[in-house]
Structures are given as structure tokens and as C-alpha cells.
Amino acid sequence: MIPGSFDYHRPTSLGEAVALLSGLDVDARLIAGGHSLIPMMKLRLATPSHLIDLAALNELKGISAASGDAIVIGAMTTQHELIASELLAARLPVIRETARLIADPQVRYCGTLGGNVANGDPGNDMPALMMCLGAIYVLQGKSGERRVAARAYYQGAYATAARADEILTAVSIPLPPPGHGYAYEKLKRKVGDYATAAAGVILTLANGAVAACAIGLTNVADTPLFAQAAGDAVIGSKLDKPTLARASAAAEAIASPAADGRGSAEYRRKMAGVMTARALSRAFARANG
């Protein structure tokens, strides 16, 4: 199928893009890499009358650690660029690990971090990771800039805290301490598939026990989930079996997946717990060196 007709706009500055988005009718949509939006347009699940292409906005590209305590990634940075970044490999390797599990290289050459997190698709992998990392989304609208925590951004499937006139310009991620443990575990049917269930973990240790732990879950509810109780369940432990079981159960308790081609709701909920335990174990082993 081919998409319906639309007017195409290619602004060359953020100001121009914001003016277009707030000035055009409500059917205007931003397009970044197009690898979520165009398939939806082909299926007539999205029928925008205007597309505003962000590709020429160089100010939305790049990865920097200018402030020292956070890494800021421009919304138009592609998933391929995340994987190739030496800065991320050294300071935030979980981003690389997660990006490598998204789709396939063809998709990752075009798909952007901004598109992945702004989309509001619970199947996208980056949103749960951003919740886990405590990331902040930087939004620019006609009345100025606003910062929204990833943990407060997702309201339902394809429903987010962004206003209709706002463009996500960057994602700011506080740097976890050196030596932190990390893992993103994703169960999928084949390479290139969305998650049956996935879990991201960031943790730190003190005297060999878990001192802090954050867990995010992908594709087991209408939104990505921040699994607060599962993270709390492992604090002070060395991840013995009963503790892992408690964390898994806490993750399963907040999951409410639908049955789909990836399995029954019961199976996918169980897999949320299994992915949580696997990610915790791998993050713990990494933190122990």
C-alpha cells in the first residue's frame, strides 16, 4: 500500500519547524527517520495532511557530555550513531547494547532516538531504558522549552505528555557512576522483531550488595513501565535466588500485556519476570567486574 497524499515541509531551523507545527492544521505530523510513521501511513493508521521533516535540523543531531554529569543526545541522532558512539560505549554502554537489539541495520541507519521515544509505542525499546536511566526529555514548543522526565512522559499507547505544538529536541541522561552494572534483556521471536517482553536494569553496588537499582520494562503494557517495586526488592541484597524471585514477581505484578502473535498475556507477563531476573543477574555480574 502507498500512503495517502500530504503536503511536505522541510524546515531548516528549529524555530521554523515549531512555527510550522503550531501554524498548520491538527493533522500535521513530524517525521524523523520515518520507520514507525511511514508504515503506519501505509496502513492508514496515520493519515497526516502535512509532514514536517526534521532531517535538515542539524541542531537536533549529536551526542555530547558537555555538562560532565549528563550526556545529551539530539533527537535526530540515529540508532546507528548511538551504536557507533565511542562516548556512549565508554560512559553509557547500555544504550549501545539496547540499540543493537532494535530491528536491523537498515532500520537503525534511519530510525532516530527522538522518533523512538516520542512515538509512544510500548513496543519501542528506548523508552523503558530512558525511564530506567532517569532521562529527561527536552521539548520545544511555541511558548518555549519544557523538560519532562521520561518516567512522567508516557500516558497510554501512542499518548504522551508532549503538546501538539512541541518538538522533542534532545534527551538528557544523568551519568550513572563509573563501575555501575547494566543490562538490557529482550526476548524476541527472531532478529528484527519487537519484544515479547524486555527489561533494562541499571544498578550500583556498595560492599558487594546492591545499593541502588532501576528497572524498566518494554512491551508488557500500554506504556513502557518503570518497575519501582522490582528495583526496591533487590536493595541491600547480593541477588540470591529468593531476592531474584521477589523482583521477578514484582515486575510481573505491574505487567498487563495483551495476547498477540508473540504469545498469550499470561506467557508475556511471565516473560517480563524472566527478563527482569536475567537483566538483574547480568547487571550484577558486570558491576562485580
Smallest separation, CB 51 to ligand FAD (Å): 9
Q: Please identify which residue in 54, 71, 250, 279 interacts with ligand FAD, judged by CB under 6 A.
A: 54
Q: What one-letter code names the amino acid at 3?
A: P
For residue 147, list its beta bridge partners: 138
CB of 113 to ligand FAD, least distance (A): 8
User: Of the candidates 105, 192, 208, 236, which one interacts with ligand FAD according to CB under 6 A?
Assistant: 192
Instruction: Note whether 107 binds ligand FAD by CB under 6 A.
Output: yes
Position 39 contacts ligand FAD (CB under 6 A):
yes
Distance (Å, rounded) from C-alpha 211 to C-alpha 234? 9
> What CA–CA distance (Å, rounded) separates 259 from 238?
34
Percent composition of the chain: helix, strand, coil (DSSP 3-state, to 5): 35, 25, 40
32 is a site residue for ligand FAD (CB under 6 A):
yes
CB of 15 to ligand FAD, least distance (A): 15
Judged by beta carbon, residue 120 or residue 181, the one nearer ligand FAD is: 120
Give the Cα separation of 139 and 94 in Å (integer).
24
Segment near ligand FAD (CB under 6 A), from 9-17, 24-32, 61-69, 254-262? Answer: 24-32
Which helix (H) or strand (E) covers residue 68, if one does?
none
Cell of 187: 526476548
- The residues binding ligand FAD (CB under 6 A) are 29-37, 39, 54, 75, 102-103, 107, 110-112, 114-116, 118-119, 124-126, 167-168, 192, 194
